[in-house]
Amino acid sequence: MERARTIAVAAATAWLFGDVLMGLVIQWVTSPDASYGLILAAVGGVLLWQQRASLAAATPAGRDTLIGALILAAGLAMYVASQLAADVFTARASFVLVVGGLLWCLYGAAVARRAATPLFFVLLAIPLPELLVTTLTGSLQAVATGGAELLLTSSGIPVYRDGNILELPTSTLQVIEACSGMRSVVSLAAVGLLVAWVSDGDWRRRLGLVLMTTPIAVLANIVRLAATGAATERWGEVAARDPWHSLAGWLTFVMSLLLLWAAHRALFAAAVTSRPPLAAVRV
């Protein structure tokens, strides 16, 4: 009976969110800006698979359905609102709430708590709303252009900035949306989240590592733009085109990973060295 009910609920959820989930998977596969979602969703799936034994062994006795029902109702309300407003992000986020609420109602709080971490990774795998991405992209463009201008000027290369365009003595460098660094920020944040999750240490160091991903990605992108401008002055506009442009992007992300690794070493090495020696804690 319990198994039949689970299958029925899973089928109903799949029917309700089928189109939403299909669109999400297609975006993960086809959009470079959203491809990080595949990694985070896979991590959520692995975590859920690792906990399958404890989830199956959890007893539904003493379940508190009120909280689960509230979570489920909130998720369904979000889904209805998303359909009325044609908001894709809200529809996808509502799926996570609905699944969490269903688990709480059907199997109790213990199961819902164990599934909370995998569901959290699935929530993070959902691409950000387009309006937010556009706003952040514009801000990152301005920061990247200003930073590149500062580096080029400091290195002795005269440059005139007009919005997101850098006028160099022999060439012009336009910082378009794809060069804003938004993709690097999101991708490095996903990597930083995974590294923080598997690292040993208190939550403050883990949070600090995740927060450091944004300035690292922004700084690396500024260096890439300045290096591209300098290379363009030295070898001509061919230095700003493929395959050199794509190679510079990959090298920039590798540099970001190395900086993230250094930040991880600094944060978590400090956690080890800050512990008192064994003799000092003996009584």
Q: Residue 126 pLDDT > 90, yes or no?
A: yes
For the chain, percent of residues with pLDDT exceeding 90: 35
Average pLDDT rounded to a whole number, residues 194-208: 86
In this predicted structure, what is the pLDDT of residue 281? 38
To the nearest whole number, what is the mean pLDDT of the chain? 85
For the chain, percent of residues with pLDDT exceeding 70: 91
The residue extents of the domains of the chain are 2-127, 131-273
pTM exceeds 0.75: yes
In this predicted structure, what is the pLDDT of residue 59? 57
54: how many CB neighbours lie within 10 A of its CB?
Answer: 11
In this predicted structure, what is the pLDDT of residue 63? 59
Phi, psi of 218, deg, nearest 5: -65, -45
Confidence band (pLDDT; 50, 70, 90) for 110? confident
Nearest to 267 by CA among 174, 197, 200: 200
In this predicted structure, what is the pLDDT of residue 183? 85
Nearest to 126 by CA among 20, 206, 51: 20
In this predicted structure, what is the pLDDT of residue 1? 62
DSSP 101-127: HHHHHHH-HHHHHHHHHHHHHHHHHSP
pLDDT, tens digit, 9 for 90 and up, residues 8-42: 888 999 999 999 999 999 999 998 888 888 888 88
Position with higher pLDDT, 248 vs 99: 99
